[in-house]
């Protein structure tokens, strides 16, 4: 005897529900769902940059850089296909785009220096962290021409919707600035923190803790550390939070141009040295950090293969800004990012102050000799 008629009628309904829920995830170079990816848009100053539209890509399936066949302003590129899921007529999904320099909002130097996109249904979604001002468009996928000149960074993670509680808390700490949002009642009830984020409310005046660290697991099981700092932390995200918690030395790429006062490479007795990256190479293309607006970090040694993509620059003005980073420990993607570092700034200033620490990037890049420094100190 076959299954009852009621069960046969139920099966098509279950299939429809399964295709509706769980449909939002990061998209790869072929438009297929992927657990996580990183992308690096090339600056106009390098060969094969296609006017600053070309980008390289890596993910959990292949952690080595691949040059995308489709430019970054193409809605069918990995970035375009991922972000395009935020547009449409589905009013049942949660959508949030935030930026301190959005496409229709003035620059906000008071709130967090952070940019990202989230889209979720009742079971899954994605969180894209990026560095591009005026991105993306309000009603359709648009990559701004102002984002072509300099290199830019992207990290996307596909996660279960249950992670919105943790993600919402991180966005509250950093004081994210929403410029496009859709919060159905079912999400606001399930995750009240999202209402706090959209209302631009942050920590109470009585708060004494100004950082937050959360563990976020992708659908495929990759563990990410999500770091967030409030502006009242008044310290460097990379040295005083990420490197201290990970207990590693980091090379950090961030925007150090303009008239702002840079922090410079920071070394001290704690051994968690942080070096400002000065020169980079990607698939044979060499360029300086002055052409790079991305924000990311990589540990110096393979014994702790840490890679992070985040929000903040290593400048004194950003000690008083909120921001965060997503970090993972992954040997393959670590080799890719570690191989991208050509040179770093040495920690001469800290040696001169007697701060201690090796003061050099493992493997010896732009290293000033310790003996020479000691002679200067006499």
Joined together, the tokens standing for residue 349 give 């200033």
193: helix, coil or strand? Answer: helix
In this structure, what is the dihedral angle of CA atoms 311, 216, 29, 286, given to the nearest 10 degrees?
A: 40
Does residue 180 come out as left (phi exceeding 0), alpha (psi in the -120 to 50 range) or beta? beta
Respond yes or no: is residue 239 known to be catalytic.
no
158: helix, coil or strand? Answer: strand
Distances (CA, A) of 74 to 7, 63, 78: 44, 23, 9
In this structure, what is the dihedral angle of CA atoms 298, 304, 305, 310, given to the nearest 10 degrees?
A: -40
Cis preceding-peptide flag for 136 (omega within 30 of 0): yes
Chain centroid offset of residue 343 CA: 22
Rounded (5°) CA angle 173-265-297: 55
Query: Of the listed 113, 239, 293, 330, which one is catalytic?
Result: 293
- List the catalytic residues: 293
């Amino acid at each position: 005897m076959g299954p009852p008629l009621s069960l046969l009628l139920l099966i098509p309904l279950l299939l429809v529900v399964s295709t509706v829920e769980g449909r939002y995830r990061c998209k790869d170079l072929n438009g297929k769902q992927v657990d996580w990816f990183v992308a690096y848009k090339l600056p106009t100053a390098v060969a094969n940059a296609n006017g600053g539209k070309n980008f390289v890509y890596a993910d959990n399936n292949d952690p080595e850089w691949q040059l995308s066949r489709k430019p970054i302003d193409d809605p069918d590129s990995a970035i375009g296909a991922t972000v395009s899921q935020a547009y449409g007529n589905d009013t049942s999904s949660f959508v949030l785009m935030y930026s301190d320099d959005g496409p229709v909002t003035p620059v906000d130097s008071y709130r967090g220096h952070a940019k990202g996109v989230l889209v979720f249904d009742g079971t899954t979604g994605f969180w894209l962290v990026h560095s591009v001002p005026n991105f993306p468009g309000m009603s359709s996928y648009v990559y701004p021409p102002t984002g072509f000149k300099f290199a830019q960074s992207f990290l996307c993670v596909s996660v279960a919707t249950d992670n919105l509680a943790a993600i919402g808390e991180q966005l509250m700490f950093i004081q994210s600035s929403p410029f496009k949002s859709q919060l159905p009642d079912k999400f606001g009830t399930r995750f009240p923190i999202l209402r706090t984020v959209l209302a631009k409310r942050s920590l109470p005046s009585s708060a004494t803790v100004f950082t937050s660290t959360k563990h976020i697991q992708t659908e495929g099981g990759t563990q990410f550390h999500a770091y967030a700092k409030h502006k009242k932390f008044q310290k460097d995200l990379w040295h005083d939070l990420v490197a201290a918690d990970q207990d590693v030395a980091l090379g950090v790429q961030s925007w150090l141009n303009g008239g702002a006062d840079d922090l410079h490479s920071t070394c001290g007795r704690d051994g968690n040295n942080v070096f400002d990256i000065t020169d980079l190479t990607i698939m044979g293309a060499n360029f300086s950090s002055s052409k790079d607006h991305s924000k990311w970090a990589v540990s110096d040694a393979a014994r702790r293969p840490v890679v992070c993509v985040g929000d903040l620059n290593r400048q004194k003005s950003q000690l008083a800004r909120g921001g965060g980073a997503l970090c993972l420990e992954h040997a393959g993607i670590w080799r890719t990012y570690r191989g991208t570092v050509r040179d770093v700034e040495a920690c001469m200033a800290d040696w001169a102050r007697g701060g201690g620490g090796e003061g050099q990037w493992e493997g010896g890049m732009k290293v000033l000799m310790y003996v020479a420094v000691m002679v200067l100190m006499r």
